[in-house]
Structure 1
Amino acid sequence: MVALSVVVSIVASCALPRSGPNRNELFAGSVQREGDAFVVEVNQRVIAATSIVPALGFSQAFQNAGPTSTEVIRPGDVLGLTIYENVEDGLLAGQGTNSALINEVTVDGAGFIFIPYAGRIRAAGNTPEQLREIITRNLDEQTPDPQVLVRREAGDGATVSIAGAVGGQGIYPVERATRTLSGMLAAAGGVNVEPDIAQITVVRGAHSGTIWFEDLYANPQFDIPLRGGDRILVEEDSRSFTSLGATGTQARVPFDSQTISAIEAIATVGGLQSNLADPTGVFVLRNEPEEIAESVLGRSDLIGAQRMIYVLDLTAPTGMFEARDFVIRDGDTVYVTEAPFTQWNKALSALTGTLGTANSIAGLAE
């Protein structure tokens, strides 16, 4: 038995296949043992210090911007005019009629339109009613008691662009029904990714803001008024974590909800491999910002981001609860070590396989 143990130990010390470092090797790389990472066992204090999830939302500048008037005429708008004259043979009306219909009058880049006999008139900045009064005054000098109707038909003076994961990408006018973010998204066909991982970004000049799609309806203040020139991007959450070791799947895993805990991350990849995994050796590797690392370690002398290895022991009395409460963040690596007996089994299999092969060769030689 002693000889067998020695042989097995020798075989085990060789480079047997495995999924990564074991628990002892990870602890050996800690700062406390002259390594380059802080190894910290997860408890409620650590959970409280690390459960910071970046918040999404619009700044006060976005939220406090009042609704824009959809009635004000802007450069690029297209107008329609109907002019009634109180004479049989008017200036603009055709023969036998007393009205003239002028369609598709485009407001030029300077904000002006041209109406025969009324001249060049500034339309931009006026409502249709104000423009009607201006045209009426100008025509009143040419024809008695003219009556004018002004319609704002369409235009690209106040538009926003929508791109990304929506039903219909394109350029949309800011109108009464689409002057808020929710109305504009509805006009574009809504989002076509899972709502709980959809993000909405609004770019206005040099400023931008991003929110979760669900927060648009949960927080009415995020349903901001839009401005001409706004750019709206709808995209799926790009955060992910990496799963390695004795888990059901070793892969880069995208987030499927706004927050995900360590226990949910393990479940997402198929749980622990019961024949390989060491439930006392669940590790989360992360580059932690300086202020969080100092809070976790109770120090104030750290400089810059720190390499942290968080240890979860699922066999501890509160281990499952701590894994449930520990928040996984973007870029984390969730690594599960192999149980010690796994290497023993591999060593034993290698030994028995080697002896079997030797016996076979010996048999052939005889």
Structure 2
Amino acid sequence: MRRRSTIRNSNRQSEGIRSGKRLLLSSTITMMISLCVVIMFFSSFIDAETLQSNSLQKGQEPKSAQQRRPQDDNYRIGPEDVLFISVWRNDQLSREVVVRPDGKISFPLLDDLPVAGLTPLQVKETITKKLAQFVEDPEVTVILQAINSYKVYISGNPSLAGVVNLKRKTNLFQLLAMIEEKKALSEAVDLKKAYILRGGNRLSVDFEKLLEEGDVTQNIEILPDDMIYLPDNFDQRITVIGEVATPRVIPFQRGIRVLDAVLMAGGPTEDADLNDTKIVRPKSGEEEKTETIRVKLKDVIKKGKLQYNLTLQPKDTIIIPARVF
């Protein structure tokens, strides 16, 4: 019996030792895997940093700079554009330059170089070729840092006039959307008289068809130095005077009616004689002559007689007189 008990105890001890060894082995393997993961992580990080550093030394632009560049490789450089010219392993030559109004840049050893009208790749090839006279096998990179030459000029309405700096290819609809952030075009511009002047020639573009009818054939590409004429539409507006809360001039919109204009002027006052409302309208083709149209606006509001809610025309004047007590 004692012998059997001894054997059992020995077996238990052996099993405990084996369990401890398995546990120790498992812990060791886990630690080794964790250590490998950490080493791999830092190795990839260091490799990435080294790769980026080497790329910069060779004049290659970092990813952030690449994202700032225009996607169009055919971009033509113009005055006031900013270029960064990198010559590999030559910090004295590498520098940022601004294109002068005459279209040239100043660069060490090469004096003045004409670059306006060239692509960054063409500028790189030109500098590389000329620099080879002074530097052995120069490796040149030209990075477009800032686009300042893509300008268009807005004239006509004083509230919209100015210079717009574009940073990428832009069509007419996109340009008008940018301008409309300042002021609604429908309130400020006579679209029928708007036009584009390019190189001294007036382009055949219908602004009204583009914005009001969605005619995409009018959506042309805007080029640098285009002049966009957006005339004020004051003479096309509607005037509301008399017994309204805020007499005012209202931008003409297609389909606008008498009641719409009166409400835009704050609505009638308590003293308004609505059924004696008048529209004074210039006669077509007859300068300084007008016709007067009576509107029963009270019947429109109180009785729903919409036939009296007439559609307005540009240059109409609405007059709401006071009631006679």
Measured in 2, the distance between the counterparts of 1:102 and 1:74 equals: 18
Q: Partner of 1:306 in structure 2?
A: 289
Measured in 1, the distance between the counterparts of 2:100 and 2:268 equals: 67
* Distance 1:221-1:334 versus aligned 2 partners, 3 A rule: same
Equivalent positions of 1:235-246 (< 5 A) are 238=234, 239-244=237-242
Q: Partner of 2:85 in structure 1?
A: 81
Q: Partner of 1:286 in structure 2?
A: 281
The structural deviation recorded for 1:312 is: 3.8
Measured in 2, the distance between the counterparts of 1:331 and 1:102 equals: 60
The structural deviation recorded for 1:276 is: 6.5
Aligned 8 A contact 1:215 1:222 in 2: no
Q: Partner of 1:122 in structure 2?
A: 114
Secondary structure at the residue paired with 1:309?
strand
Measured in 1, the distance between the counterparts of 2:294 and 2:120 equals: 68
CA offsets 1:307-353 (integer angstroms, 9 cap, x no match): 2122345669x9933333x33234322235678xx5xxx5xxxxxxx
The structural deviation recorded for 1:128 is: 0.7
Equivalent positions of 1:14-25 (< 5 A) are none
The structural deviation recorded for 1:287 is: 1.4
CA offsets 1:164-212 (integer angstroms, 9 cap, x no match): 768xx97543322x63345556778x61445763548676466598957
Number of aligned pairs?
A: 241
Instruction: For 1:77, give the aligned amino acid.
Output: D
The structural deviation recorded for 1:114 is: 3.8
Aligned 8 A contact 1:113 1:120 in 2: yes
Q: Partner of 1:103 in structure 2?
A: 96
Measured in 1, the distance between the counterparts of 2:305 and 2:149 equals: 58
* Distance 1:69-1:146 versus aligned 2 partners, 3 A rule: closer
Which of 121, 131, 136 is the equivalent residue of 2:128?
Answer: 136
- Compare CA radii of gyration and give the structure with the larger one: 2
Aligned 8 A contact 1:128 1:150 in 2: yes
Aligned 8 A contact 1:202 1:232 in 2: yes
Gapped regions of structure 2 (runs ≥ 5): 1-71
Q: Partner of 1:6 in structure 2?
A: none
Measured in 1, the distance between the counterparts of 2:287 and 2:213 equals: 38
Aligned 8 A contact 1:216 1:222 in 2: no
Which one has a larger percent helix, Structure 1 or Structure 2?
2
Aligned 8 A contact 1:114 1:121 in 2: yes
Q: Partner of 1:30 in structure 2?
A: none
Which of 256, 259, 262 is the equivalent residue of 1:263?
Answer: 259
Measured in 1, the distance between the counterparts of 2:311 and 2:145 equals: 52
The structural deviation recorded for 1:84 is: 2.7
Measured in 2, the distance between the counterparts of 1:101 and 1:250 equals: 64
Q: Partner of 1:329 in structure 2?
A: 313
Measured in 1, the distance between the counterparts of 2:266 and 2:177 equals: 37
Aligned 8 A contact 1:202 1:230 in 2: no
The structural deviation recorded for 1:216 is: 8.0
* Distance 1:81-1:278 versus aligned 2 partners, 3 A rule: closer
* Distance 1:141-1:226 versus aligned 2 partners, 3 A rule: same
The structure whose RCO (Cα within 8 Å, separation 6+) is larger is 1
Aligned 8 A contact 2:252 2:313 in 1: no
Aligned 8 A contact 2:279 2:316 in 1: yes
The structural deviation recorded for 1:161 is: 5.0
The structural deviation recorded for 1:236 is: 8.8
Share of identical aligned residues, percent?
19
Equivalent positions of 1:35-54 (< 5 A) are none
CA offsets 1:77-98 (integer angstroms, 9 cap, x no match): 232211236xxxxxxx25xxxx
Which of 200, 204, 215 is the equivalent residue of 2:211?
Answer: 215
* Distance 1:175-1:123 versus aligned 2 partners, 3 A rule: same
The structural deviation recorded for 1:249 is: 4.5
Instruction: For 1:288, give the aligned amino acid.
Output: K
* Distance 1:134-1:197 versus aligned 2 partners, 3 A rule: same
Measured in 2, the distance between the counterparts of 1:226 and 1:255 equals: 27
Gapped regions of structure 1 (runs ≥ 5): 1-67, 86-92, 291-302, 347-366
Measured in 1, the distance between the counterparts of 2:177 and 2:244 equals: 40
Cα RMSD over matched residues? 4.7
The structural deviation recorded for 1:260 is: 1.7
* Distance 1:70-1:179 versus aligned 2 partners, 3 A rule: farther
The structural deviation recorded for 1:132 is: 1.2
Measured in 2, the distance between the counterparts of 1:104 and 1:216 equals: 44
Aligned 8 A contact 1:135 1:148 in 2: yes
Measured in 2, the distance between the counterparts of 1:106 and 1:273 equals: 62
* Distance 1:191-1:221 versus aligned 2 partners, 3 A rule: farther
Which one has a larger percent strand, Structure 1 or Structure 2?
1
